Structure 1
């Protein structure tokens, strides 16, 4: 599977700007399009699934409430993911689950990674063992490295967008990706492309 960079599709741009002009159908379409992705990402940051869903719904409520003031040039998916991350950080502060802080540093990525078995031949036991080892390596990475890889290869964000979400500069985001990949590449000796595995894996 070829990795793709998140860009606004024509549909996203149209839906977003129609929504900004109070088109309820466009708003509903955006909600249906991104709700599950946002909940999945939110669950990676908090073990409280019901509260995560509340956070995602609150993000959409705010989007609609403040639609007239929103910029027209945002990358919709990146904007929504970032909004969910910030809201969950505030949730952690309010509930005193983590240290009292409004910084998104107060939350840690917690989902487990798994390469889809459909990519591997049923009889290729050696590759299966290597992939299992790769999964363990990735899941043992520091949370920030793991989250950066998730945002890059699972959600398709650019390095700049990842930097904005994690509230670090571009070089720091690039370093997170580089260090994570370096750790994996030192150990991965399989015939399948490491990037292909990361892009097609599930969290």
Structure 2
């Protein structure tokens, strides 16, 4: 069943289907939320608030893009809660900043020193991108969203999303080639390497010990 079908069931009044939507998208929302504000408990509370709000709302509109709708919603909730609680992100450049354990890189790549060196350089180059460029890379290569949905989340038009992604990839490729004069990196190889970096970052996030990363949520608990 398509996500939009689940959503239509939900807005028709069968709110128990939210449990399915919650289970499917919890990890996506957690990962994105931690990119916006790196506090696990804070983000988990915001996700709970989002689904309680959805359950209680009587004016939810249909959508074909459930994931982007939820990502935009959690973004708004996090920003509103930060403002309400007078919390601030102390270093704006830390947004969407990737931290990858070098031991994980070496374990993943084994004896492939050339690819290991490339990924280390790519990580450094990525973290030098602007916040908007990092967001575009994140949405395209970890969330794998089309530009139409990225534009909806960031409140820009689709062409602007495409242009921003193109400039970000061009900048990454240029930075890598500046660091290694002999390297000619194709767009496809660059995309694969970015995907691997994000995958390793996700592994670090989801392997946090002694954390209940996927707490249960039910429609019944929200109706109490």
C-alpha separation between the residues in 2 aligned to 1:11 and 1:175? 29
Q: How far, CA to CA, are the matches of 1:118 and 1:33 in structure 2? A: 31
2:29–2:47: 8 Å Cα contact kept in structure 1? yes
Give structure 2 stretches of 5+ with no counterpart.
Answer: 178-182, 202-224
Q: Deviation string for 1:6-33 (max 9, x for gaps)?
A: xxxx331222112223324421111111
2:117 corresponds in structure 1 to 129
- Higher alpha-carbon deviation: 162-171 or 106-115: 106-115
Q: Secondary structure at the match of 1:199?
A: helix
Q: Which structure has the greater CA radius of gyration? A: 2
The two structures, once aligned, show a CA RMSD in angstroms of 2.8
CA pair 161-121 structure 1, distance change in 2 beyond 3 A: same
TM-score (norm 2): 0.72
Task: Give the counterpart of 1:53 among 30, 33, 44.
Answer: 44
Q: Number of residue pairs matched?
A: 187
Unaligned runs of 5+ in 1: 1-9, 100-105
Structure 1 residue 133, shift from structure 2 partner = 0.5
CA shift, 1:176, in A, is 2.0
Tell me the CA shift for residue 98 of structure 1. 4.1
Distance 1:96 1:175, change over 3 A: farther
Contact 2:137 2:165 in 1 (8 A): yes
Structure 2 match to 1:86 = 76
Secondary structure of 1:149's match? helix
Q: Which residue of 1 aligns with 2:171?
A: 183
* Deviates further, 26-35 or 45-54: 45-54
Say if 2:9 and 2:17, in contact at 8 Å, map to a contact too.
yes
TM-score (norm 1): 0.79
